[in-house]
Chains A and B, each alone.
Chain A
Amino acid sequence: MNVNKKKIYPQWFIVLPLVIYVLFFLLPSILGVGYSFTDWSSKSAKTGIHFVGLKNYIDIFTSNKNYVQGILHTLMFTVVSNIIKLIPALFLAILLNESIKCRGLYRTLFYLPSILPFVIIGLIFKSILNYNNGLLNAALEFLHLGFLKQKWLSDLGVVWKSIFAVDAWRGVGYVMTIFIAGLSAIPSSYYEAASIDGANFWQKLRMITLPMLKGSIMINLVFGITYGLKVFDIIYVLTNGGPGHATEVLTTYSFQLYSTGQYGMSTAMNTVLLIITAIIGVGVVKMMSRQEG
């Protein structure tokens, strides 16, 4: 059989997908690293592209344009948005893994927001969070909680909270769904045995649920972290980085630099993101290849 392997499983099956992946996905990233050391800009058609060394990176880390803050925002968003989604989603999954009425309907419903385009969600919440006639402030007034009214998207103190809330509204159901699948694979006899031993909810959670959910937690973290680092749409549509530059992240700066024709700077910004994701990605892939054996 070994002799035939090359014939039944021809290597050329891999060539086309590999070429597309390398040319249109990987190559731009590698080129980006190269261009990040140049003064490439919209004027380069006339003046040519020159090697400028680390100038772009020095600009990013020392200029007064808050690029560093954008990078920090990206990291902050990644950490906070994951915590905000994972913990409630876990409890929701545990709740919907029990036999409660209409649980199929709830599962379908809670997952629904995560299939919608971010742009749409951004637009919907732009209207809901509108100070004067948005649904949220109207609801607060209706409940006689008018004192809680906020300028949700323009007040520096609340704007990030609004973004996180919208992000959670969309994402909790997705995380929950992955947890439910993990939960359904845990044999119920474990819990029965633990109940006989007199374990309470928290003990069962710590000793059975969490260790058995390792795979689902891992998947959620990988998806969540890569999503967080690349976040763009929701911030672009909700606040466009504002008020001022208060909610600017790495990708919004990168787009801004691109649209103002500073291509070299934009690719440098992207390279920073590439390095951050590469460090995390290599770690995860290493862990997976260890499992693969």
Chain B
Amino acid sequence: MMKRRISAVLKQAVCILLSIIVIAPFYMVLINSFKGKSEAARMSLSLPAEWLFSNYAEVIEKAKLWQGLGNSLLYALVSTFIGVILSAMAAFVLSRNKIKLNKFLYFFILCGLFFPINYVTLIRVLQFFHLNDTRIGIIITFTGAMIPFCVFTIYNFISSVPTEMDEAAVIDGAGPLSLFFRIIVPMLKPTMVTCFILQFMTVWSDFLTPLYLSSKSKMFPMTMSVYQFFGKNKNSWNYIFADIILTCLPVIIVYLLGQRYIIGGLTSGAVKE
């Protein structure tokens, strides 16, 4: 009994210590984002001598945050929405009609899970379509890159959706599109939401794609504009920290709202074993 209690205390101690390691950087960033410039440069954990909430208003203007936010939202929402729907359509046919060609195509698409994007030649391809240095070019790049993951995840899920529904719907005279959107999509909702959330966060966090594909700062998403802001204001840590908080906030909100979908989706492949 005594032994069990000691081990419970030890386990709690480990968890609390790790929690502190996770939280301390967040706390440091948050608390220093309210300080004056010289006070923030000391990066201490003490409370600000004076709470400067105005830092946030100033950084929103200085770092052109609205523009970054708009771009990030545009890239993440549009590319993910298109990517998930298209992947679901492909996964549906690939998994339901397992002819030789489709089996090959499935593994052909899966290869994309591993390959890196070659941005230098991608720019060449985008030039060919007159999409280089455009927002559409960035969006379509993100969409292309997420297709393997989404097809893989949704494909695994579809096999658990019964085919009797398909047959019934077709007998009732539904075409493939209405079968897919009215019957299949509602049943795929959990896995599609998972893909949407995970890919939304991936696009939001991505740095390399806009680094290669956008030469104009008015196309920068938040990650790029934070980095650029850091480069120009290396000593104004109070502003940098405020900028960091504002960039993190959207993903943290999405994470807390969609948490149960994330865990479920991450593990749908793992638990299948």
- B140 nearest CB neighbor, chain A only: A24
Inter-subunit contact A25/B112 (CB<8 Å): yes
- Please tell me if A1 contacts chain B, counting CB pairs below 8 Å: yes
Give the interface segment out of A63-71, A156-164, A241-249, A273-281: A273-281
CB distance from B212 to the nearest CB of A (A): 7
Inter-subunit contact A128/B270 (CB<8 Å): no
From B18, B121, B256, B266, residue with most partner A Cβ within 10 Å = B121
Given the complex of chains A and B, what is the CA–CA distance between A192 and B205 in angstroms?
Answer: 43
CB distance from A16 to the nearest CB of B (A): 6
Give the interface segment out of B7-15, B49-57, B58-66: B7-15
CB distance from A284 to the nearest CB of B (A): 7
Contacts of A194 in B (CB 8 A): none
Contacts of B273 in A (CB 8 A): 182, 185, 212, 214-216
Inter-subunit contact B271/A20 (CB<8 Å): no
Inter-subunit contact A273/B116 (CB<8 Å): yes
For chain A, the bracket of interface size reads: 35 or more
- Please tell me if A210 contacts chain B, counting CB pairs below 8 Å: no
Inter-subunit contact B114/A280 (CB<8 Å): yes
- A217 nearest CB neighbor, chain B only: B270
The residue that B25 contacts in the complex, of A28, A109, A125, A233, with Cβ under 8 A, is A125
CB distance from B153 to the nearest CB of A (A): 11
The residue that B22 contacts in the complex, of A24, A28, A112, A233, with Cβ under 8 A, is A112
Given the complex of chains A and B, what is the CA–CA distance between A285 and B122 in angstroms?
Answer: 25
Contacts of A214 in B (CB 8 A): 273
As a 0/1 sequence over residues 128 to 143 of chain B, the CB contacts with chain A under 8 angstroms (1 = contact) are: 0000000000001101
Interface residues of B in 137-157 (CB under 8 A from A): 140-141, 143-145, 147-148, 151
- B110 nearest CB neighbor, chain A only: A285
The residue that B114 contacts in the complex, of A124, A271, A284, with Cβ under 8 A, is A284
Given the complex of chains A and B, what is the CA–CA distance between A223 and B157 in angstroms?
Answer: 19
Inter-subunit contact A25/B145 (CB<8 Å): yes
Given the complex of chains A and B, what is the CA–CA distance between A245 and B109 in angstroms?
Answer: 36
- Please tell me if A270 contacts chain B, counting CB pairs below 8 Å: yes
- Please tell me if B182 contacts chain A, counting CB pairs below 8 Å: no
The residue that B252 contacts in the complex, of A27, A112, A127, A266, with Cβ under 8 A, is A112
As a 0/1 sequence over residues 191 to 213 of chain A, the CB contacts with chain B under 8 angstroms (1 = contact) are: 00000000000000000000010
The residue that A5 contacts in the complex, of B97, B124, B251, with Cβ under 8 A, is B97
Inter-subunit contact A281/B115 (CB<8 Å): yes
Inter-subunit contact B248/A110 (CB<8 Å): no
Inter-subunit contact A119/B207 (CB<8 Å): yes
Inter-subunit contact A18/B118 (CB<8 Å): no
Given the complex of chains A and B, what is the CA–CA distance between A96 and B167 in angstroms?
Answer: 44
Contacts of B11 in A (CB 8 A): 95, 98, 100
As a 0/1 sequence over residues 44 to 74 of chain A, the CB contacts with chain B under 8 angstroms (1 = contact) are: 0000000000000000000000000000000
The residue that A120 contacts in the complex, of B41, B145, B226, with Cβ under 8 A, is B226
Report if A24-B125 is in contact (Cβ < 8 Å); known contacts: A108-B259, A124-B29: yes
Tally of chain B residues near chain A (CB < 8 A): 94
Contacts of A182 in B (CB 8 A): 267, 270-271, 273
Given the complex of chains A and B, what is the CA–CA distance between A29 and B147 in angstroms?
Answer: 16
Inter-subunit contact A177/B263 (CB<8 Å): yes
CB distance from B34 to the nearest CB of A (A): 15
- B141 nearest CB neighbor, chain A only: A24
Contacts of B47 in A (CB 8 A): none
- Please tell me if A86 contacts chain B, counting CB pairs below 8 Å: no
Inter-subunit contact B118/A21 (CB<8 Å): no
Contacts from A to B (Cβ < 8 Å): 1, 4-11, 13-14, 16-18, 20-21, 23-29, 31-32, 35, 92, 95-96, 98, 100-102, 106, 108-113, 115-120, 123-125, 127-128, 130, 133-135, 138, 169, 173-174, 177-178, 181-182, 185, 212, 214-216, 219, 222, 226, 229-230, 232-233, 236-237, 251, 254-255, 258, 263, 266-267, 270-271, 273-274, 277-278, 280-282, 284-285, 288-289
Known: A24-B126, A130-B43, A232-B207. 11 other contacts (CB 8 A): A14-B105, A20-B86, A20-B144, A92-B18, A98-B11, A106-B18, A128-B28, A181-B263, A181-B266, A214-B273, A216-B273
Contacts from B to A (Cβ < 8 Å): 8, 11-12, 14-15, 18-19, 21-25, 28-29, 41-45, 86-87, 89-90, 92-94, 96-97, 102, 105, 107, 109-122, 124-126, 140-141, 143-145, 147-148, 151, 166-167, 170, 176, 179-180, 201, 204-208, 211-212, 223-224, 226-227, 230, 237, 240, 244, 247-248, 251-252, 255-256, 259, 262-263, 266-267, 269-273
Ordered by A's residue number, 8 sampled pairs between the chains whose C-beta atoms are within 8 Å are: A4-B170, A29-B117, A95-B14, A112-B255, A117-B251, A124-B28, A130-B43, A135-B28
Q: Which 7 A-B residue pairings sit nearest by Cβ, starting from the closest? A: A281-B114, A181-B267, A215-B273, A117-B205, A24-B144, A32-B118, A28-B122
